[in-house]
Amino acid sequence: MSRYTGPRVKIMRALAVDLPGLSPKTSDRRPYRPGQHGNARHKETEYGKRLMEKQKLRLNYGLNERQMRKLFREAARSKTNTGTKLIELLERRLDNAVYRAGFARSIPAARQLVNHGHIQIDGKRVDIPSFRVRVGQTITLRTASHQIDPVTKGVELWERRTLENNWLTVDRDARSAKVSHLPDETALEFKLNVQLVIELYALSA
C-alpha cells in the first residue's frame, strides 16, 4: 500500500495549511508555495479548490485515494450528514486515535506504533492502523513500550494535544485513552471545507 514519504513541510506549503497529523513541524518559516514562483499569485479553478480540500484531508490522515473513496461511499450511505460522518470515520481510525491521545508526534509515527504491536484495545493487542475504535473502548500503550512514547519526551506537546482533543478521555499516568463519544467535524485540527470534498467525490462518482 502506497504512503506519502516525501518532504512533509513542502506539502503543507503547497496546500497553504499546517497538517498536525502529517507532521509536528509548521510552515511558518516559509509561508508560501514551494518552487521558484512560490510567491507569485495563483488563480485557482473551482475544481482546484475542491481538490486542495480533499488533499488536506487525505494527507493529514495518511490515506491513499482508494481508501478515501471507500470511506466517502460509506459516509454517503449513512443516515447522518455525509461530511460529519466522513470526519468521524477518519478520526476513529486507531492510528489517529493513538496520535490524538498524545502517544505519538504524528499519525505516521502512531501508525508505526500500531504496526509494531505497541498498542492495546481493552487489554488486547491490535496491530491494524485502520481498526475503528468504538465508544467505551480503552486504548493503552503497552507497559513495556512506555519509554518510547512522547509523553516522556515532550510534556508540553502532550498537554496541548490532549487539551485540544474532545472525544477521548486521556489518563496521562496510565498511558491510556477512553473513547467517550463519537468525534465530529469539530475534532479537526486544521481548517477544512468538507462540503468541497463531498462535491469533488460526488462529481466523480
Question: Domain of 148: which CATH number?
Answer: 3.10.290.10
How distant is the alpha carbon of residue 4 from its chain centre? Answer: 14
Taking the C-alpha atoms of residue 24 and residue 88, their distance in angstroms, rounded to an integer, is: 22
CA angle in degrees (0–180, nearest 5) for 82-75-53: 65
Q: Say yes or no: 68 and 101 in one domain.
A: no
Q: Say yes or no: 71 and 16 in one domain.
A: yes
In a domain, 1, yes or no: no
Q: Say yes or no: 21 and 51 in one domain.
A: yes
Question: Domain of 76: which CATH number?
Answer: 1.10.1050.10
Q: Say yes or no: 128 and 109 in one domain.
A: yes
Q: Say yes or no: 151 and 108 in one domain.
A: yes
Q: pLDDT (tens digit, 0 to 9) for every residue of the chain, 205 residues total?
A: 456 666 777 787 888 888 888 877 766 566 656 654 455 566 778 998 999 999 999 999 999 999 999 999 999 999 999 999 999 999 999 999 999 988 888 899 999 999 999 999 999 999 999 999 999 999 998 877 666 656 545 455 555 555 566 799 988 888 899 999 999 988 898 899 999 999 999 877 6
In a domain, 129, yes or no: yes
Q: Which domain holds residue 37?
A: 8-88+189-203
CA angle in degrees (0–180, nearest 5) for 117-12-202: 85
In a domain, 136, yes or no: yes
Taking the C-alpha atoms of residue 203 and residue 97, their distance in angstroms, rounded to an integer, is: 31
In a domain, 132, yes or no: yes
Please give the C-alpha separations between residue 15 and each of 55, 56, 137, 192, in angstroms, as whole numbers: 8, 7, 34, 11
CA angle in degrees (0–180, nearest 5) for 80-168-57: 55
> What pTM was estimated for this model as a whole?
0.84
In a domain, 105, yes or no: yes
Number of domains forming the structure of the chain: 2
Q: Say yes or no: 99 and 26 in one domain.
A: no
C-alpha dihedral over 169, 118, 120, 152, to 10 degrees?
-30
In a domain, 83, yes or no: yes
| CB proximity list for 110: less than 8 A, separation 6 or greater | 95, 96, 98, 99, 103, 104, 129
